[in-house]
Amino acid sequence: MASDTKNASEEEYFARLEREAREAAQVEVEKRKAGDVRAAAKATHSGFCGKCGGPLKARDFRGVEIDVCEWCGCVLLDPGELEQLAGKDESGAVRGLASLFGFKR
């Protein structure tokens, strides 16, 4: 009887290890898929407007290189460019606007 209990607990232990290994492998697969999707989206959309899909052209504006859509005129700012263009902001409006869009300093 004690042998049956030992075998059952060993089986539960190895079953748990196997389940945990499968779950960890599934998490890795999901991470890889998410990374692949992001890379594909970046490759597909890099250099194109997020609004209309038109081509972006780099232009110099007040010493900052910004991207402007050739079709709709939409402007794409990279992280930090808004702060560079706005200059020092004592009121915190630019900082508030930047935080609204998720830009970090």
Same domain, 26 and 5: yes
Q: How many helices (H) and strands (E) does the chain have?
A: 3, 3
Residue 67 placed within a domain: yes
pTM: 0.48
**Based on the structure, what is the number of domains in the chain?**
2
Per-residue pLDDT 10s for the chain (105 aa) are 566 777 888 899 999 999 999 999 999 999 888 888 877 766 777 889 888 889 999 999 989 999 999 999 999 999 889 888 887 665 666 667 677 776 665
Same domain, 73 and 35: no
- Per the structure, the complete domain to which residue 3 belongs is given by 1-46
Same domain, 35 and 62: no
Residue 36 placed within a domain: yes
- Residue 67 to residues 4, 12, 17, Cα–Cα distance (Å): 71, 59, 51
Do the Cβ atoms of 76 and 66 come closer than 8 Å? yes
Same domain, 31 and 66: no
Same domain, 41 and 60: no
* Residue with the two structure tokens 């049956």: 4
